[in-house]
Structure formats: structure tokens, C-alpha cells
Structure 1
Amino acid sequence: MAGCSVRSVAPVTSGAVDLQVWTHDPSYVTTFQGAAADAALMRGSAFAPTIAPVSANGADLVSRTITQAIAGREGPDLLGIIISEFPRVMKNQMAENLFADLSGLLDGIDDEVLRTDPYSRDGKLYALESDASISVFYYRQDEFDRLGIDAGMETWDDYLEAGARAFEKTGQAIGMVSNGDNTSIFNSYLQYLLQRGGSPFDDAGELTIDTDESAEVLEFIRKGVESRALLVLGDPYGAAAASAIKSGNLIATVMPCWYNLYGLQANAPDQAGLWRMRTIPRFSGGGHVASNLGGTGFAVGIDSPRKDAAIDLLRRTYLTKEGQLLRYQTGGYLPTLTALYDDPDFTEIRDEFLGGQRVFDVYREAAKDVPAFYQSETMQQLSTAMGAPLLAVYGGRMTAAEAIKATTTAYKQQTRQAV
């Protein structure tokens, strides 16, 4: 792939420029269009960009980017990579040959920028995260009051007991996990694993699921499913979850910040004012009060003649207060600059769907305790290997230790490692 280059095209160094923005989500297009048209945000720039969007499925966009590079044709100037797709370009130095190294943009502020690890390879950063994607605990305040559930309980042990009583009394659940496709099943585990302080891989890409943290999470899921405190759904983001929310069968769940808009509000607008959010109850063994799930990083095409203009727009939109405020106002994307969680322009924001709650009172605490998350080029193989063992844990057919062993064996077989 390194030989398939279009670097002979003269680079654009100033002036009007059309930037090809490839993304699966039109909100990102709106965000970049708003940034490019904002005179204050673009003040001092050598470029006057306009946005030429290309929309498609996230996986297809990555495939097309790779295909264009192999053919020696121009790809995107800015590519939105869904976080679960990034492992595809971690193989065979693809990220290095496809995308510009953005590490220099973080000079002096690298400790202030959230979620760089999932888009890094060999010490280089290839995409900037669009949303902190902080997971919190959403709950129906009215149903908790009716059932006598204390929303301030500190641990998952307490919540599972309360959830078991709620299901026995009314058939309602205080959380959910997936039994659908392997990715959804794995993500149910991943969100809790990160909160507990684990990670599927370490910073060197080595598998790290055979840990006390992983075992505790698996036991937590087994216990929650067995007591029906946790509802088992095929698709946590689709019709099954929408039905459970609308019917009142699901009255609480751990989900990322974006689930408020795309899960709760989209599916149950009549429940406005009834929902609240808080940090996640802790596991008895420790961990964090927050987690992560999902996200989209934006990368810049390394061979694009408009690379400098793309980097300039990305920096202004993603690494300035003004750009991050625009992102939140456009698509609800949480800041990835930690200092902004104490900024009055954010801290005074109230969410009427959540009963007028000052959401950054919760996000501030969560942002200070966001777990690390490392990816590997073999993430897909791990997701596939873990699907069946996780379902066996749900059904009580495997213990946590047995599931970890089965997953490790299957993973090594798929990645051709010694078993």
C-alpha cells in the first residue's frame, strides 16, 4: 500500500478549498459545515473551506478508503472512523500509510485530550475522537420512587438486589445486556469491563481478559440475568430496546451520553422529564464511576493535496473551546478537552428531557474517572470468540473462569497463536 501514492498532486497551501468529508452520520457534516462557516472560529486560517460530504455505512467507508489507496486514487480528506472499525487499519501498517499522524496537534495538551488510545498505533495518533462517549447510569426517577429504589446507592451489589425485587414485583428491569450479534454481545461485556478497570487488550495489543476484573464482570452479568435485574435483548439500540423503554419494562440502563438523544428521546419522547442520570454504581472490587462505548474518530488522508486544510479545520473544530461548544450544540457531542467540564458555558447546560438536570454536574465527575481503552488489530476475532461463551454465562452453562478459558482458546485459534 505504501507504493500506491497520489503525492505527485500539488498541495493546496491556502485559499478556497473543497474538503471531502466521508462519514456515516450527517450530524458530523453539519458540524464541519458550521465550523467552516464560522468567521470567529476560522479567524487567522489560510484556508476558506467548504464541505463536500460523502455518506455511507461506516464499514463501507473504511473499505472504500482502503480500495482507493490501493488503486492510487484520492480518498477522503476527512474520514469518520467508527471506533470498532479502527482495528481494521491497525494491520499491516495501513493506518500509517492511509492517515496523517496527528500527534503533533496534541503537543502540550496530550494529558487534556480524552480517548486518544483507541485510535493510536505504535505511539502515533491517527484520529481525533468526536465525542467523549462517557457512559452513565440513566434511570426513571418516577419508577424508582414508586418502587422504593434509592437512586443514590453506591454499588452494583445493592442495585442488583433492588433490581431483582423490582422484577419480582412488577417485571421491570434496571439494566440490559445483548444476546444478538457477536458485536452487541461483546459490547455489553466491554462497557462493564472498562468500568471495572479492565480492558480487552493492553497498550501493546496483548490480550488481557484473564483477570479478576473480567471474572467479576462476567459473574455480575450472570447474576443480573439470572435474577432478571438485567433484561436480555437482541439489539440494545433497535426495536427491542425501544419497546422495552416505551412500555416501562426497562427503567434504567448504563449507556453512553449519546443514548440520551438516540435511544431515550428518540424512542420515548412522552417520557420527557421522567428520566435522570448519575455516575455508574461501583463494582465491589473497585474500578470507575464511568465507562465508554462507541465513538467516531476523524482522520486526515495522508496523501490528500488538501491535507493541511483538513488538519487546520479538524484542529479548530476538535481542539478549541469554540469548536467543542459548536459540536455539542450541533450533535450533542461531549467535550474531549477535560478543562471544558468546568467551563460555565457547559456547566450551566440543563437537559429538559432529564427533568432540567444540570448534566455536566454528572459528566464532570465521570470525565475525571474515565477508564483507559486499548484496541488491537485482532479485536474482531476477540468479539467473535467471546460471543458463544458470553451466552453460555447468561444461561448458567459456563462459569466466568470457563468462559474466559473458552474465549482465550478460540481467540488463539483464530489468530493462529499457540493454544
Structure 2
Amino acid sequence: MRKTIGCAALALAAGLHATAASAQSGEIRVWSWDIAAASLKANIEGFNKQYPNVKVTVEDLGNAQVFSKTQAGCAAGGAGLPDVVSIENYKAESYWNQFPDCFADLKPLGYTPEIAGKFADFKRAELEKGEAAYAMPWDSGPVVMYYRRDFYEKAGVDPASIKTWDDFVAAGKKIAAANPGVTMSATDLDGDGTTEWFRMVGNEQGCNYFSADASAVTVNAPACIAVYDKLKQLKDTGTIISAGWSDKIQALKAGKVATIMFGGWYEGTIRTNAPELAGKWGVYRMPSLTADGPRAANIGGSSLAIPAGSKNKEAAFAFVKYALSTDEGQVTMLKAYGLVPSLNSALEDPYVKQGQPYWGNQAIWTDILATLPKIKSTHGTAFLNDAEAALKTVQTKFLGGGYPDAKAALDDAANQISSASGLPVAQ
């Protein structure tokens, strides 16, 4: 009798699931970019096995276009927006603050506390405002150093010995001497991504544009000044050169750079753009300003949000939930394109513990994901774009010798941000 009841219960549960899945129908459009768009496309097949009546179209518009078109759509009351939008985490709070009615609260759609609790806390911090959750966490950007094994070995440099940025400078001199024409590292110092190094090392040091409660400007705090001092040293010693996104890819393919510091998602960029260099790359933890520093930070990483004007929110949420809150969805994207899961359970997948052939059989995901618990949460405000614009201008002038020291440069940046935002400079 018990067996009969149990079978009946299982059949009923399966029937309810099938009914719920088939109830979702119609079409949804998704805006994303680059490998993020490609990874979402990779999940459509698995999603349609559960939701065969939903047609998903992922549009790869490019990062800048998604941002500008979403901003324009929100400003126009939601006009022209798709059903799902990719949002970079560090820009998320500028949306919630500028356009509080543009995106749907995911909680009424089924984003339960149980689902939310599956994600790393630092990823959720920027996506929730008050009682509402406007986006679901997607990938993380734990910062690591991608390095050329052969260049380091030829110079006799053990990456495990590099714990501080001073160690990094010393190692850079040896690597440049042993490998003519090779520069130790490259980052964007004077282009669209000008602030990337500051944001990575600043996050590691607990330095941000604004205070944790977003009530004051803190970009000229002592921790930030120390970060800027170190950046100037790296630039002046030739340890690091300026290179934008495409320039970095060309440099690493041509064997002109020994190290790239970036988020975990950059793994897929290197692997897909330079397949001919398989076995020559490895990964180690980022340096800190001091030997006892956390050596962990985050840059980039995204989330998925549903515009409030979507005509098919239920189907849109079903896709978001499948792609982001299931191990199957997250690991599919990790395997194909190196997008680092924010979903805690996905970190236990056997694939994460495997040695990766491209990376010299190093179990890079174990090493990269081990930094997640050490990453500090950050917050933005509606004035993040103003802060970024001010710092880009100041940084170019600072690295060109236009300020007497880092403090003067960041004091200027703080005053500019304060004028634009109306927030006081923290004392």
C-alpha cells in the first residue's frame, strides 16, 4: 500500500512539473555580449528539454551597446527593452538608483530565499535593494594572474614566490632580461577600461569610490592612495604597460606579455583566442601590497534582470532560473566559456576539480574559486558613471606626471566626484 501511495505521489509530482513547464510558452529575447551571450545560447538546448514551448533568442549586442540601449530604454519607460538583460554587477546599483521602476522584482516570480541563499553573498549585495531583488547572480570575476609558464621558467621565477607587488616588480625584471621583447604585464591605463587595475587592487585592499553605505566619497582614502602609489611604480619601472582589450589579446597571442591580471572569466578569452598556446599558460593568486594581504578580489561578473515591461516574465524567469540557479546551467557555461559560477553548489561539480589540459593540467578552477570567500563586497551608487569618468581623467594625468603625488591626484578625483554627486568627501 505504501509503495502504491509513493508511486502515485511521484507521478503526481512529475505531472505537476510537466504542467508547470508546458504552461510556459511563447518567445523571449535576451540581450548580452561576447562569451556571455554564447554561453546563454549553449543553455537553450537544456532549457528547452524542460520548457519545449518557449523560444529563446539571445542577441549579442556587445557590452557597450547593451549598457547604452538598456539605459535609453529605462529612460524611455521601458520602451524597446527585451525580456532578459545582462547587467554587469558593478554597474547594477546605478540602474536601481536611476530607474527604480525599470526592472521587475524577481521575488514574486519565484526567486525564493532558498534560491537566493545558493549564491555567494558578495554577488547578491549589489543586486538587492530594500526588500526587492532586481537580478539573479550569474558569473563571478575572482581576480588571478594568468602567466606564461615558459617565460617564468626561463627566468627561474617560481610564481609561488610572488606574494607582494614588490615581488612582482623584481620578478618582472628577471623575466624581461631572460625573454627579450617580453613585458611583465599589461592592463588598460588610458582607454575605456582605464580604471580596471585600480578596481581590482582597490577591491583587494578594501578601497572603493564610495563608502559602504554610499553616503560619502572615499576614493582618496589612505588605502586608495597606497594602491595608486603602487600603480605609478609599476608604470614607471616598465613592469606594466597600457593595453586595451584587443591589444592585450594580440600581445598574449604574439608572446609579448608574460602576465595578465584579470577576472576568472578571462580564462575563456585566452583559451578561445589562443588555442595554439595550450599548455603554456598557468594561474596563480594576485599579489597584495603586503605579504599578509588577502590576495583576492573581484572584477566584472554579471547578473540577469527582467525588465518590468516584459510581456512574458514567467517564461523569462524560468530561463534565468535554469541558466543561473542549476548546476547543469552554470557548469555548461563554465565548461564551454570559462564563466565562473556564483552558485555555491556548482563549485562542487567534479569538473571544477579536474586538471585542465589547456592550462598544463593545472586544476585552475580549484585555485581560482578558492579565493571567493576572501572577496570583499562593494557598493555603487547612482553616480558610479560620474566616478568612473573622473578617475579616468585623473589617472591619465597622474601617470603622465601631472600631479605631485597619489594623494593630490585622488584628492582631485574625490572633489570632482563630490561635485557631480553632491555627496561629501569622507573625512
TM-score bin (small chain): 0.7 to 0.9
Alignment of 1:150-299 (within 5 A): 150-153=158-161, 154-167=163-176, 170-181=180-191, 183-206=192-215, 207-233=217-243, 235=244, 237-238=245-246, 240-262=247-269, 264-284=270-290, 287-299=293-305
Q: Which amino acid aligns with 1:370?
A: I
Alignment of 1:70-85 (within 5 A): 70=76, 73=79, 75-83=81-89, 85=91
User: Is residue 187–residue 260 contact of structure 2 (8 Å, CA) maintained in 1?
Assistant: no
| Equivalent-residue separation in structure 1 for 2:211 and 2:318 (angstroms) | 32
1:100 aligns with 2:104: yes
Cα deviation for residue 16 of structure 1 reads 2.3
Aligned to 1:117: 125
Cα deviation for residue 256 of structure 1 reads 1.3
> Structure 1: where are the runs of 5+ without partners?
1-11
Aligned residues: 394
Aligned to 2:142: 134
Q: Secondary structure at the match of 1:105?
A: coil
Aligned to 2:334: 328
Spell out structure 1 runs of 4+ moving beyond 6 A: none
Aligned to 1:17: 26
Cα deviation for residue 391 of structure 1 reads 2.5
User: Is residue 62–residue 85 contact of structure 1 (8 Å, CA) maintained in 2?
Assistant: no
User: Is residue 231–residue 250 contact of structure 1 (8 Å, CA) maintained in 2?
Assistant: no
User: Is residue 266–residue 338 contact of structure 2 (8 Å, CA) maintained in 1?
Assistant: no
| Equivalent-residue separation in structure 1 for 2:92 and 2:362 (angstroms) | 34
Question: Quick check: 379-388 or 18-27, which moved more?
Answer: 18-27
| Equivalent-residue separation in structure 1 for 2:417 and 2:77 (angstroms) | 33
| Equivalent-residue separation in structure 1 for 2:250 and 2:366 (angstroms) | 30
Per-residue Cα deviation, 1:228-285 (whole angstroms, up to 9, x for no partner): 111222x1x11x22342233331012111222222x2344333221110022123207
> What is the aligned counterpart of 1:361 among 336, 360, 366?
366
Per-residue Cα deviation, 1:297-341 (whole angstroms, up to 9, x for no partner): 210122323112211221122112122122223432211112332
Q: Which amino acid aligns with 1:102?
A: L
User: Is residue 138–residue 254 contact of structure 1 (8 Å, CA) maintained in 2?
Assistant: yes
User: Is residue 82–residue 297 contact of structure 1 (8 Å, CA) maintained in 2?
Assistant: yes
Percent identity between the aligned chains? 19
| Equivalent-residue separation in structure 1 for 2:22 and 2:384 (angstroms) | 38
1:381 aligns with 2:386: yes
Q: Which amino acid aligns with 2:204?
A: Q
Measured at CA, do residues 328 and 418 of structure 1 come closer, stay the same or move farther in structure 2, by a change above 3 Å? Answer: closer
Cα deviation for residue 67 of structure 1 reads 5.1
Q: Which amino acid aligns with 2:277?
A: Q
Q: Which amino acid aligns with 1:119?
A: L
Q: Which amino acid aligns with 2:267?
A: N
Q: What's the TM-score, normalizing by structure 2?
A: 0.83
Question: Quick check: 19-28 or 217-226, which moved more?
Answer: 19-28
User: Is residue 291–residue 370 contact of structure 1 (8 Å, CA) maintained in 2?
Assistant: yes
Aligned to 2:10: none
User: Is residue 218–residue 393 contact of structure 1 (8 Å, CA) maintained in 2?
Assistant: no
Measured at CA, do residues 66 and 148 of structure 1 come closer, stay the same or move farther in structure 2, by a change above 3 Å? Answer: closer
Measured at CA, do residues 364 and 59 of structure 1 come closer, stay the same or move farther in structure 2, by a change above 3 Å? Answer: closer
Measured at CA, do residues 309 and 277 of structure 1 come closer, stay the same or move farther in structure 2, by a change above 3 Å? Answer: same
Cα deviation for residue 28 of structure 1 reads 4.2
Aligned to 1:411: 417
Q: Which amino acid aligns with 1:128?
A: M
Per-residue Cα deviation, 1:195-214 (whole angstroms, up to 9, x for no partner): 22323233422332222321
Aligned to 1:8: none
Q: Which amino acid aligns with 2:26?
A: V
Cα RMSD for the two superposed structures: 2.8
Q: Secondary structure at the match of 1:302?
A: coil
Q: Which amino acid aligns with 1:127?
A: A
> What is the aligned counterpart of 1:37 among 16, 31, 48?
48
Cα deviation for residue 294 of structure 1 reads 2.0
User: Is residue 17–residue 50 contact of structure 1 (8 Å, CA) maintained in 2?
Assistant: yes
> Structure 2: where are the runs of 5+ without partners?
1-20
> What is the aligned counterpart of 1:394 among 388, 391, 399?
399
Q: Which amino acid aligns with 1:363?
A: I
Aligned to 1:6: none
User: Is residue 155–residue 174 contact of structure 2 (8 Å, CA) maintained in 1?
Assistant: no
Aligned to 2:347: 341
Q: Which amino acid aligns with 2:416?
A: A
Question: Quick check: 149-158 or 202-211, which moved more?
Answer: 202-211
Measured at CA, do residues 203 and 302 of structure 1 come closer, stay the same or move farther in structure 2, by a change above 3 Å? Answer: farther
Q: What's the TM-score, normalizing by structure 1?
A: 0.84
| Equivalent-residue separation in structure 1 for 2:424 and 2:340 (angstroms) | 42
Per-residue Cα deviation, 1:115-162 (whole angstroms, up to 9, x for no partner): 122333345331223211222111111111111112102222211222
